[in-house]
Structure 1
Amino acid sequence: MAKLNTLIDSLNAVFGDKLVSLKTDLDEVTIEIGAANWLEAAKTLRDHAELRFEACVDVAGVDYSTYKDGIWEGQRFASVYHLLSYAHNWRVRVRVFALDDDFPVIASVVDVWSGVNWFEREAFDLYGLVYEGHPDLRRILTDYGFVGHPFRKDFPLSGYVEMRYDAEQGRVIYQPVTIEPREITPRIIREENYGGV
């Protein structure tokens, strides 16, 4: 607990009013940094002697549009970074909200932690988060012709297009989804002596 308090004190001392919020839950610290201050804050998190977060071990996109049963009041998209300090043996979670829900842009931190390259590409691909300054921001998990971003809460379960090989044309083609929506109600089978002798 002393180490956690030291981390909290250091974060408050270094960032002061640049911290949008600082929360502790289950012995984990989560801070929120404004998008305008993110790139500078990332460098400070890495380089400041009291913090020294040398590694970013994960980056995740988040769509808050249906968070808390749709009662969420705030920006829709965020990028969440999990940082690790080898020197101090502590972790912090950093959340940065994109300012525009229609075109979510967040500064890339590839120049700060080179390992985030593919993580940012994944969040771009699945959530549509644009990382400004990323050296190679393109899809990484979905096909190049894929339409939309499948982890967004408003993305249809069946998608927008489907691809298939057309033998007559001798190539892969894209066409509108032809899946008929249907409701499947499972049948419950009860046996008198199920599980017994």
Structure 2
Amino acid sequence: MTTKFENLEAAVKNVLGARLLQSFSAFGELTVVLAPADYLQAMIDLRDDASTAFEQLLDLCGVDYSTYADGAWDGARFAAVSHLLSLRNNWRLRVRVFAADDDMPLLPSLVEVWSSADWYEREAFDLFGILFDGHNDLRRILTDYGFIGHPFRKDFPVSGYVEMRYDADQKRVIYQPVTIEPRENTPRVIREEHYGMKG
């Protein structure tokens, strides 16, 4: 007797065919990897084919793999990971697609496939700098419009590049270079030789 997971895996492999680069189980869910060129049509097929029927896009997030596996990662740097749900079949699927160019990560937009992709793709653009071709309103959603850089990239400085503050003289918010001085915090257990010891 085949399990639900085996049925899902067979249905996905049947729908995707040669477009499926890789599939594996992670955290109890099937994960598939697609090429950027096949991404849009494959997602349409996963939604429209009755054997998979993924009606909902639950989530789409960006990932920066530059420091993955303690820097041993040698693949593409940026990926978009989508989580799909089929209510009809009561199963889930994780889809990963890597952007071909690390300097300008570009992937097809899924907004025309699932409208819920709109804000998810804006978030991935804002935080990781991943561009989505075909998105009709790709602008920042979580950071300020004047924000410089993409704060979830692994090479983005923890303190940022600029800070904003209210200037009472100018009666407005101004931007200025970061004035935070880096410092090293040493826990008390290391700093004080007899910390936590009685008398």
State the TM-score bracket (shorter-chain normalisation): over 0.9
8 Å Cα contact 2:15-2:46 kept in structure 1: no
Q: How does 1:27-38 map to 2 (within 5 A)?
A: 27-38=28-39
The residue identity in structure 2 corresponding to 1:108 is: S
Are 1:2 and 2:13 an aligned pair?
no
* Correspondence for 1:112: 113
Q: How far, CA to CA, are the matches of 1:130 and 1:13 in structure 2?
A: 30
Instruction: Report Cα offsets for 1:75-122 as digits up to 9, x if no partner.
Output: 000000000000100000000100100000111101101011111111
* Correspondence for 2:174: 173
Moved over 3 A (4+): none
- Work out the percentage of aligned pairs sharing the same amino acid: 58
* Correspondence for 2:192: none
Instruction: Report Cα offsets for 1:135-178 as digits up to 9, x if no partner.
Output: 11111111111110000000000000001111112211111111
Q: How far, CA to CA, are the matches of 2:171 and 2:109 in structure 1?
A: 40
* Correspondence for 2:68: 67
* Correspondence for 1:24: 25
Q: How many residues end up aligned between the 2 structures?
A: 193
Q: How does 1:130-141 map to 2 (within 5 A)?
A: 130-141=131-142
Other structure's SS at 2:111 match: coil
Q: TM-score, normalised by structure 2?
A: 0.94
* Correspondence for 2:45: 44
* Correspondence for 1:144: 145
Give, in angstroms, the shift of residue 15 of structure 1.
1.3
The residue identity in structure 2 corresponding to 1:35 is: P
Other structure's SS at 1:16 match: helix
* Correspondence for 1:14: 15
Other structure's SS at 2:33 match: strand
Q: How far, CA to CA, are the matches of 2:129 and 2:161 in structure 1?
A: 16
* Correspondence for 1:153: 154
RMSD between superposed Cα atoms in Å: 1.2
Q: How does 1:94-109 map to 2 (within 5 A)?
A: 94-109=95-110
* Correspondence for 2:82: 81
Q: How far, CA to CA, are the matches of 2:153 and 2:27 in structure 1?
A: 28
Q: How far, CA to CA, are the matches of 1:100 and 1:10 in structure 2?
A: 31
Unmatched tracts of structure 1, length 5 or more: none
Instruction: Report Cα offsets for 1:60-87 as digits up to 9, x if no partner.
Output: 1000000000000110000000000001
Other structure's SS at 1:114 match: coil
